[in-house]
């Protein structure tokens, strides 16, 4: 079986479910900005003959529709047994992304909801369920192995989740500023308060007036940490950090964004560990 | 907050003034040489060098990063120097264009090997003048002072070389001066593009020099005028971006363009000779009047032809006069129109309220269950759809209003605009 996932996070989850039953490939290279991704000719070849295609959905990997209609088999096109929209069944946040007045959108240029749902590890149960279901539909003889793989992964995830929650429990309600609106699912799971984001419109530099307002908010609310991602422009965050003394903490939004985040579980090991350390240092 | 505004503005403004200082001098020579896009080509060649450095595993600010950038810039400078020989058979600008697109395409190909490529390319275009640091500024001041001093010493041969830009002389005659010019130009542009971005550096280079040339053909006077104009436009751009709450680079580019328009107006209507002034005033009034008349006339005609379409000029007139499409509705339609607008606003507020409730629950009180989150999402979607329904009613009734309005407002606007345009054209013909 050959599985193609649009992102490294979905690929890692697919690998956890399929184990050695499938060859898993990713379209967006690790550490790249998925929202600025443009497919290349080699991606067409990946889709040809794929048994299962897994996507984030919600407009995040919108370019996949065109690729699938041209290069994918019917089974991996929308409605096919091998087509997995991982967002199905996930409790979505910030559905106001699709507002009545499109000029009033804030934070995200995406479609229906905030698409970074894989950053709540609890959602991995739903996502991996969708992947296992597609695998069982396509290869019923592998059902036992797929279910066992998924159960094993979920029990490791459960143990890790308890540990992650324990690590961040002392920082419940900690106030943070994020560069991009990537972290609402992560914040909900670990009870963090992301007060504001620096980049209000995707790809447009924040205005100086906005930065001055944010500096005032950071000082008034005693915010000590600015969450930043590896591929984001650092200038605005550094400027705010210099003005306010807040620390910039680089978190990985996806598997492979930093070398330490080598798998789905390692992604949270890295993010939770890094954030807990930064918040502890700030409170000291 | 005010302290923050000053702190955020002080360094970028100083940097902009420093950039204007050196770039105006280079801009004057670039205009004399007719190689306006040479800075873009050189900046792109140096960006290619920086990109190769990044892909090879070096930071742009490291010694290896600078070495890569400088070597590429030097090669670019050599190519531009050699291109003077081409000026006899083809325009040098065409060669510069080819160099620019080649360097850009090569950068894209090289960057394709790096995962964070798109961000790098965007940064080179837009820059980040807002976040310039004191240390960086000091480096610019030292570097530009040295280059400025060297250019001051050798200004005569440099200006002589730029005055002979059409390639009449033998290529060997100005080879050394051309090479010095393009090398120092490359160093300046490479350093400024990394901070201010390609768009803004193009403005620093060309606009003050153009303004200076508008008022004087003497290099010293043009330089002084360019400096004053550039510094003023920089200040307007940076403080304007605070007032408008918009990105600094883009607002500053617009401020430079506005400075050029204002300088052009001053040149045409104030400092020109009495005869020229009178002619310019006449031509200016006729052109302005013609554009305004055509805009009004075509807008009115568009209302008559397609009352359901977008009508930005009519909307501006409606806003200014308070006479909107609701004046042309029946009492029932007007009541529905106002109610639908109100309900739509209420739905928006309800969506925001739900959003705030969910956001607060992420860290306060009991965590909402997955089902509660789904319920909130479902309500937000429903309210969005209901809001769209109300928006549809508003749009439909507005179109009905505009269908009637077109005879009372659209037709007179079209007639007035087109008659005005015809009268202006006739007057202009008679004056000739």
Percent of chain B with pLDDT over 90: 37
A233–B123 C-beta distance less than 8 A: yes
Q: Which whole-number Å values give the CA distances from B302 to A5, B309, B310, B398, B405, in the listed order?
A: 49, 8, 9, 15, 12
> CA B266 from chain center: how many Å?
22
B237, B251 Cβ separation under 8 angstroms: yes
For A235, the closest of B130, B367, B388 (CB atoms) is B130
pLDDT band with cut points at 50, 70 and 90 for residue B124: low
pLDDT band with cut points at 50, 70 and 90 for residue B295: very high
Give the mutation candidate from A29, A38, A100, A201 for the B interface (greatest B CB count, under 10 A): A100
B370–A232 C-beta distance less than 8 A: no
In the predicted model, is pLDDT for residue B197 greater than 70?
A: yes
Which chain B residues contact residue A36 at CB under 8 A? 118-119
How high is the pLDDT of residue B335? 93
How high is the pLDDT of residue A96? 64
In the predicted model, is pLDDT for residue A169 greater than 90?
A: yes
Reported ipTM: the value is 0.85
pLDDT band with cut points at 50, 70 and 90 for residue A102: very low
In the predicted model, is pLDDT for residue B199 greater than 70?
A: yes
Q: How far apart are CA B357 and CA B387, in angstroms?
A: 20
In the predicted model, is pLDDT for residue A282 greater than 90?
A: no
B352–A212 C-beta distance less than 8 A: no
Lowest mean pLDDT among A75-89, A167-181, B102-116: B102-116
B130–A233 C-beta distance less than 8 A: no
How high is the pLDDT of residue A83? 93
Q: How far apart are CA B8 and CA A194, in angstroms?
A: 24
What average pLDDT score do residues A175-201 get? 93
For A100, the closest of B344, B358, B370 (CB atoms) is B344
Nearest CA in chain A to B356: A94
Q: Tell me the count of A-B CB pairs closer than 8 A.
A: 140
The token duo for A243 is 């003005």
Q: Which of residues 5-24 of A touch B (CB under 8 A)?
A: none
The token duo for B129 is 């003048």
pLDDT band with cut points at 50, 70 and 90 for residue A105: very low
Question: Which domains does chain A possess?
Answer: 2-158 (3.40.50.1980), 165-283 (3.40.50.1980)
DSSP code, position B409: I
Residue pLDDT, tens place only, B352-406: 899 999 999 999 888 899 999 999 988 988 998 899 999 999 989 988 888 888 8
Q: How far apart are CA A32 and CA A37, in angstroms?
A: 7
Q: Which whole-number Å values give the CA distances from B406 to B308, B322, B419, in the listed order?
A: 11, 16, 18
What average pLDDT score do residues B208-221 get? 92
Residue pLDDT, tens place only, B230-247: 999 999 998 898 888 888
How high is the pLDDT of residue B342? 94
**CA-CA-CA-CA torsion sign (A184, A187, A191, A193):** negative
Which chain A residues contact residue B344 at CB under 8 A? 100
In the predicted model, is pLDDT for residue B155 greater than 90?
A: no
B248, B195 Cβ separation under 8 angstroms: no
pLDDT band with cut points at 50, 70 and 90 for residue A98: very low
In the predicted model, is pLDDT for residue A106 greater than 70?
A: no
Residue pLDDT, tens place only, B37-76: 888 888 888 888 888 887 887 777 678 888 888 899 889 9
B338, B395 Cβ separation under 8 angstroms: no
In the predicted model, is pLDDT for residue A21 greater than 60?
A: yes
**CB-CB neighbours of B407 under 10 Å:** 13
Lowest mean pLDDT among A50-59, B125-134, B173-182: B125-134
Nearest CA in chain A to B388: A100
pLDDT band with cut points at 50, 70 and 90 for residue B1: low
Q: Is A84 left (phi over 0), alpha (psi -120 to 50) or beta?
A: beta
**CA-CA-CA-CA torsion sign (B382, B386, B387, B388):** positive
What average pLDDT score do residues A3-15 get? 95
B398, B337 Cβ separation under 8 angstroms: yes
A236–B373 C-beta distance less than 8 A: no
Tell me what percent of chain A is helix, strand and coil, each rounded to the nearest 5: 50, 10, 40
Which chain A residues contact residue B370 at CB under 8 A? 91
pLDDT band with cut points at 50, 70 and 90 for residue B191: confident
Our CA-based measurement puts residue A242 at a distance from the nearest CA of chain B, in whole angstroms, of: 10
How high is the pLDDT of residue A255? 94
Q: Is B24 exposed, middle or buried (0-12, 13-18, 19+ CB in 10 A)?
A: buried
In the predicted model, is pLDDT for residue B336 greater than 90?
A: yes
Backbone angles phi, psi at B348, to 5 degrees: -60, -45
A88 touching B, CB under 8 A? no
More confident residue, B66 or A278: A278
What average pLDDT score do residues B413-428 get? 91
Q: Is A245 left (phi over 0), alpha (psi -120 to 50) or beta?
A: left
How high is the pLDDT of residue B136? 86
How high is the pLDDT of residue A107? 42
How high is the pLDDT of residue B427? 86
For B377, the closest of A113, A203, A212 (CB atoms) is A113
Q: How far apart are CA A57 and CA A53, in angstroms?
A: 12
A96 touching B, CB under 8 A? yes
pLDDT band with cut points at 50, 70 and 90 for residue B121: low
How high is the pLDDT of residue A99? 43
Q: What is chain B's length?
A: 432
B362–A187 C-beta distance less than 8 A: yes
In the predicted model, is pLDDT for residue A29 greater than 60?
A: yes
What average pLDDT score do residues A100-107 get? 42
In the predicted model, is pLDDT for residue B117 greater than 70?
A: no
Q: How far apart are CA B12 and CA B204, in angstroms?
A: 13
In chain A, the DSSP E strands lie at 2-5, 23-26, 52-55, 83-85, 175-178, 193-197, 225-228, 247-250
How high is the pLDDT of residue B2? 66
Q: Which of residues 214-273 of A touch B (CB under 8 A)?
A: 215-216, 230-233, 235-236, 238-239, 242-243
Give the mutation candidate from B363, B366, B377, B386 for the A interface (greatest A CB count, under 10 A): B363
pLDDT band with cut points at 50, 70 and 90 for residue A109: very low
A238–B363 C-beta distance less than 8 A: no
In the predicted model, is pLDDT for residue A166 greater than 70?
A: yes
Give the mutation candidate from A209, A215, A226, A232 for the B interface (greatest B CB count, under 10 A): A209
A193 beta partners: A175
A203 touching B, CB under 8 A? yes
Q: What is the mean pLDDT of chain A?
A: 88
Nearest CA in chain B to A38: B118
B20, B255 Cβ separation under 8 angstroms: no
pLDDT band with cut points at 50, 70 and 90 for residue A108: very low
Q: What is chain A's length?
A: 284
Helix H, strand E, coil C: the string for B75-97 is HHHHHHHHHHHHHHCCCHHHHHH
Q: How far apart are CA B320 and CA A107, in angstroms?
A: 32
Q: Which whole-number Å values give the CA distances from A207 to A31, A119, B5, in the listed order?
A: 27, 28, 11
For A100, the closest of B247, B359, B387 (CB atoms) is B387
Q: What is the mean pLDDT of chain B?
A: 86
Whole-model pTM over 0.90:
no
More confident residue, A230 or B16: B16
Percent of chain A with pLDDT over 70: 92
B355–A36 C-beta distance less than 8 A: no
Q: How far apart are CA B40 and CA B19, in angstroms?
A: 16
Q: Which of residues 33-62 of A touch B (CB under 8 A)?
A: 33, 36, 40
Alpha carbons within 13 angstroms on the beta-carbon side of residue A132 total 22
How high is the pLDDT of residue A163? 96
How high is the pLDDT of residue A173? 92
B115–A30 C-beta distance less than 8 A: yes
Extract long-range pairs of A59-65: CB within 8 Å, 24+ residues apart: A59/A110, A59/A111, A59/A112, A59/A115, A60/A34, A60/A35, A60/A110, A60/A115, A61/A6, A61/A7, A61/A27, A61/A28, A61/A34, A61/A37, A62/A111, A63/A37, A63/A38, A63/A39, A64/A6, A64/A27
Max avg pLDDT among A126-130, B59-63, B154-158: A126-130
Lowest mean pLDDT among A8-22, A41-55, B26-40, B171-185: B171-185
């Amino acid at each position: 079986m050959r599985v193609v996932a649009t992102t490294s996070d979905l690929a890692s989850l697919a690998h956890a479910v399929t184990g050695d039953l499938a060859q898993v490939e990713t379209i967006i290279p690790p550490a790249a900005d998925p929202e600025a991704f443009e497919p290349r000719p080699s991606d067409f070849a990946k889709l040809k003959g794929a048994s299962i295609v897994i996507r984030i959905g919600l407009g995040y990997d919108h370019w996949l529709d065109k690729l699938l209609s041209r290069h994918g088999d019917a089974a991996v096109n929308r409605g096919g047994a091998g087509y997995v929209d991982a967002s199905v069944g996930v409790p979505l946040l910030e559905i106001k992304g699709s507002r009545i007045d499109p000029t009033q959108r804030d934070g995200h240029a995406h479609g229906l909801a905030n698409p970074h749902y894989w950053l709540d590890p609890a959602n991995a149960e739903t996502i991996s369920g969708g992947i296992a279901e597609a695998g069982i539909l396509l290869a019923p003889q592998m059902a036992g192995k797929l279910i066992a793989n998924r159960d094993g992964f979920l029990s490791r995830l459960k143990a890790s989740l308890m540990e992650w929650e324990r690590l961040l429990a002392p920082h419940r309600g900690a106030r943070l500023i994020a560069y991009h609106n990537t972290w609402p699912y992560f914040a909900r799971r670990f009870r963090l308060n992301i007060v504001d984001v620096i980049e209000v419109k995707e790809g447009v530099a924040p205005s100086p007036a906005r930065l001055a307002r944010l500096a005032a908010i950071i000082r008034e609310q005693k915010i000590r940490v600015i969450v930043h991602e590896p591929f984001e422009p650092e200038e605005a965050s550094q400027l705010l950090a210099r003005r306010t003394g807040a620390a910039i903490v680089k978190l990985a939004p996806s598997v492979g964004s930093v070398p330490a985040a080598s798998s789905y579980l390692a992604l949270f090991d890295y993010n939770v560990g890094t954030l807990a350390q930064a918040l502890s240092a700030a409170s000291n | 907050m005010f302290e923050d505004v000053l702190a955020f503005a002080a360094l970028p403004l100083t940097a902009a003034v420093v950039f204007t200082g050196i770039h105006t001098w280079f801009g004057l020579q670039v205009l004399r040489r007719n190689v306006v896009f040479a800075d873009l080509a050189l900046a792109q060649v140096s960006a290619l060098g920086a990109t190769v450095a990044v892909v090879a595993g070096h930071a742009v600010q490291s010694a290896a990063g600078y070495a890569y950038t400088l070597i590429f810039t030097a090669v670019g400078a050599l190519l531009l120097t050699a291109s003077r020989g081409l000026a006899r058979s083809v325009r040098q600008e065409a060669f510069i264009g080819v160099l620019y697109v080649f360097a850009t395409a090569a950068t894209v190909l090289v960057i394709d090997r790096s995962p964070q490529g798109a961000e790098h390319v965007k940064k080179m275009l837009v820059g980040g003048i807002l976040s310039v640091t004191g240390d960086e500024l000091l480096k610019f001041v030292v570097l530009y002072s040295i280059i400025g001093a060297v250019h001051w010493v050798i200004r005569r041969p440099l200006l002589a070389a730029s005055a002979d830009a059409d390639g009449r002389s033998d290529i060997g005659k100005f080879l050394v001066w051309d090479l010095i010019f393009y090398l120092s130009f490359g160093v300046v542009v490479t350093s400024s593009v990394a901070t201010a971005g390609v768009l803004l550096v193009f403005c620093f280079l060309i606009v003050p020099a153009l303004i200076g040339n508008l008022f004087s053909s003497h290099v010293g006077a043009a330089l002084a005028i360019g400096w004053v104009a550039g510094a003023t436009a920089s200040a307007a751009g940076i403080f304007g971006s605070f007032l408008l709450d918009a990105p600094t680079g883009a607002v500053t580019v617009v401020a430079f363009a506005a400075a050029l328009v204002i300088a052009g107006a001053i040149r045409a209507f104030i400092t020109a000779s009495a005869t020229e002034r009178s002619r310019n005033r006449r031509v200016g009034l006729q052109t302005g009047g013609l554009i305004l008349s055509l805009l009004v006339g075509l807008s009115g005609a568009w209302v008559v032809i397609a009352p359901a379409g977008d009508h930005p000029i009519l909307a501006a007139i409606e806003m200014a006069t308070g006479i909107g499409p609701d004046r042309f509705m029946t009492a029932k339609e007007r009541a529905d129109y106002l109610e639908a607008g109100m309900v739509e606003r209420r739905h928006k507020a309800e969506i925001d309220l739900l959003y705030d409730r969910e956001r607060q629950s992420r860290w306060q009180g009991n965590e909402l269950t997955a089902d509660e989150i789904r319920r909130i999402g479902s309500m937000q979607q429903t309210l969005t759809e209901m809001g769209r329904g109300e928006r549809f009613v508003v749009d439909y009734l507005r179109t009905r209003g505009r269908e009637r309005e077109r005879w009372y407002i659209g037709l007179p606007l079209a007639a007035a605009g087109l008659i005005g345009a015809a009268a202006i054209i006739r007057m202009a013909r008679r004056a000739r």
